[in-house]
A and B are shown apart, each in its own frame.
Chain A
């Protein structure tokens, strides 16, 4: 959408920009909370240990970190513990079967585990409620249906019951208020409490140390504007003293180790405008235990995505590191608060723990900001501006014979950009370089490891047949994939195969 708008020089109306900011903010907050509680927490929280918790002591602990109403209630935690015990006793453990419960890498006391389990369940209810804010202005979730090239399809009119009106604004504000309350009183206190038991993870899982963000939350309507609330930037080798400006031309992909072929040679990096996607599968044709990643064998469906020739990490950590280095006031304050609370320095950011903490920090940052975006909408409607889409270029007759564009976006899990080439009114090339792929990039012709791979190097593993430590680091990236990842020790000997869920 943004790629097409850029290619054709379409300027969207204010309402469309503001609605996109609101939906994007809702998506970020929602996604991050689910990631923490439902996709990542069980890497740190031992459900079975929670059975040993004393409800009274749990309430003491929980109320010492937050005044969330349930936290002070021993009877609440007693009920959760009873529920959990009944579930375990039923013998039908379902999705909790075969977890690494009792693993020595689990460090939380039973009371902290019980508190986290209670909030796992509360967060399930919370996410279902909060996402209604997106449905209000985007039709439904998942897969909202309102985005148009040139704007948005949800009408705005304070005097109609079929459009965004004062009632909608009031509802949005209420959802935003409840989201902020949950993030402030549940997510952030839980995150800091859990993190305080895992400070050793502030020195594990750092990875490539290069960070990229395209910037997000536009303040003006120009395609790929640099006038954004969360800044764009590139940081090389963890050097917080220098932020390089982002140039989309420095993004390349090559396929020397990926299952594609390039007409000009697999190891020659291509910019996405010149990108090619021709499958060339060379792996096993039938069931296998492990892939042969030795030599120059191809082993991935992900292209080796590089920025200025380097593997680069994207996501909440990259965004927070760049904003922190750029002196972004709110980010500096929040990062400072979290580091201070944990008693660690900024270097702790470059780690598995830093990645997980940065996601929480970003959630609070955006939950705090959401009411302002909703206010932007109210103020714009107040001016009498009901425009939602610019369709001047919807007729292909208005297009040039050839056009190229790209569209930056920061998705919850990281930097996303689409590149388009239009020729003779048709798409001649379309390439999407997505955050899950950037982080999960395979090795390249120079032998550089991708960010996920690099982050696993040196991870201490207590029990090689129960590699929970590896899962912690992979999950900290919020991977968007269900595929096979192959791990190598320093000598290149495969030690374990992990399926990322």
Chain B
């Protein structure tokens, strides 16, 4: 019965045709595909057998596994029972110890070249990689062995993508992301943690089109990381009008004004938080009143730090900034030149929107 399609498996488990198509539409929406692709997604899921998935843990906190438990469309139960065959996942698999290791060995041997490998956590490389052993094997060796036989490699969370917290300065165990170990194509589902809906969307994309989605220069899928949070933010109008939060709990904070002055890193962050949000669309950091910490950006623990200090050199701060300043700002942001940052800072100081707002 291993040839059974995903759709057949759903039918067998009592999922209606209507619900099945609803799920296909949701996937298309998250992937940013037009509704005309829904039949194609449905067709693919009707024909393909459930792909095997191996999920590995290295230097991490299991936050991405927790995140995937919050997946809603489809739910985690649908993902692991209907969409894929999750063969190895240390946190939720039934067996432990030698029995668990057998599960991994079986799949990477029998399904060589046919399984999807998912990685959670960074790989320590210092001193030959001795800082992470799992079942008596080094993370770096497991990563290479599993990665070399996978048909697709997906890194989930910033630790697996770019090293994350374990790789933050001074990075005592010399942690790196999966791409640095494997080379080639690794899909980076960045974030701390990654958003579960983006994970299931990538899996559906792969099952549907037989290819991985288009990636940006950091390996992140464009459908989820193609837009700057600052440009997509529900509080952007307040930025443009110079309405800023100055203090936790002040009037601006209570009214949902822009968090730029509180250190928001939205201008350097690329992710679809403002559109899909978190926990079935309940909220996301900026909506709740906390600045973005650019958790899906490479090295954010160093580069976006201090989290509560205003970013310098953001183009177009305040609606009254003249065209020259805006132009300079764009150049500064693009080149990330320290000198240019200084110019913008000097140019906006003293007559920025913040001063204007205080007069109100």
Point out residues on A near B: beta carbons under 8 Å: 34, 38-39, 42, 47, 79, 82-83, 86-87, 89-92, 94-100, 121, 124-125, 127-128, 131-132, 134-143, 145-146, 148, 151-157, 160-163, 279, 281, 283-290, 386-389, 391, 394, 466-467, 471, 482-484, 496-501
Beyond A281-B127, A482-B134, A498-B97, 8 additional pairs, beta carbon < 8 A = A38-B92, A82-B14, A87-B13, A92-B52, A140-B279, A145-B288, A156-B249, A287-B136
> A142 to B102, Cβ gap below 8 A?
no
Q: From the candidates A161, A288, A500, name the one contacting B96 in the complex (CB within 8 A).
A: A500
Q: Are A139 and B92 in contact (CB under 8 A)?
A: no
* Also in contact, A42 and B289, with CB within 8 A (given A87-B81, A143-B63): no
Q: Which of A79, A139, A290, A499 contacts B288 (CB 8 A)?
A: A139
Is A148 within 8 A of B248, CB to CB?
A: yes
A97 touches B95 (CB 8 A): yes
Chain B hits for A86, CB < 8 A: 9, 12-13
| Residues of chain B in range 1-48 having any CB-CB distance to chain A below 8 Å | 1-2, 4, 9, 12-14
**B80 to chain A: closest CB distance in Å?**
6
Q: Complex: how many Å from CA A284 to CA B138?
A: 10
Known: A97-B95, A139-B283, A501-B91. A160 touches B256 (CB 8 A): yes
B67 adjacent to chain A (CB < 8 Å): yes
Beta-carbon contact of B94 and A39 below 8 Å: no
With contacts A95-B80, A155-B253, A484-B135 known, is A135 near B279, CB below 8 A?
Answer: yes
CB distance from B162 to the nearest CB of A (A): 16
Chain A residue nearest in CB terms to B121? A482
User: Across the interface, do B92 and A95 meet the contact criterion of CB distance under 8 Å?
Assistant: yes
| Cβ of B185 under 8 Å from chain A | no
User: Which B residues are within 8 Å of any A CB, using their own CB?
Assistant: 1-2, 4, 9, 12-14, 50, 52, 57, 63, 66-67, 69-72, 75-77, 80-81, 85-103, 106, 127-128, 130-131, 133-138, 141, 172, 192-193, 247-249, 253-256, 277-280, 282-285, 287-290, 293, 308
Ranked nearest first, the 6 interchain pairs of A and B with the lowest CB-CB distance are: A162-B256, A99-B94, A140-B278, A139-B288, A389-B248, A157-B254
B2 engages A91 (CB within 8 Å): yes
Complex CA distance for A139 and B308, rounded to whole angstroms: 17
Instruction: Give every chain B residue within 8 A of A83 (Cβ-Cβ).
Output: 12-14, 81
Q: Which residue of B lies closest to A387 (CB)?
A: B249
CB distance from B276 to the nearest CB of A (A): 11
Distance (whole angstroms) from the CB of B90 to the closest CB of chain A: 4
**A139 in contact with B172 (CB, 8 Å):** no
**Which A residues are in CB contact (< 8 Å) with B100?**
98, 499, 501
CB distance from B252 to the nearest CB of A (A): 9
Chain B positions within 8 Å of A97 at CB level: 87, 94-95, 103, 106
Given contacts A92-B50, A139-B278, A279-B172, contact A128 B76 (CB under 8 A): yes
| B282 x A136 contact (CB < 8 A) | yes
Residues of A within 8 A of B90 (CB): 482, 499, 501
- The answer to whether A290 and B136 have CB atoms under 8 Å apart is yes
CA distance A99 to B87 in the complex (A): 12
Q: Check if B72 sits within 8 Å of A128, measured CB to CB.
A: yes
B225 to chain A, nearest CB (A): 17
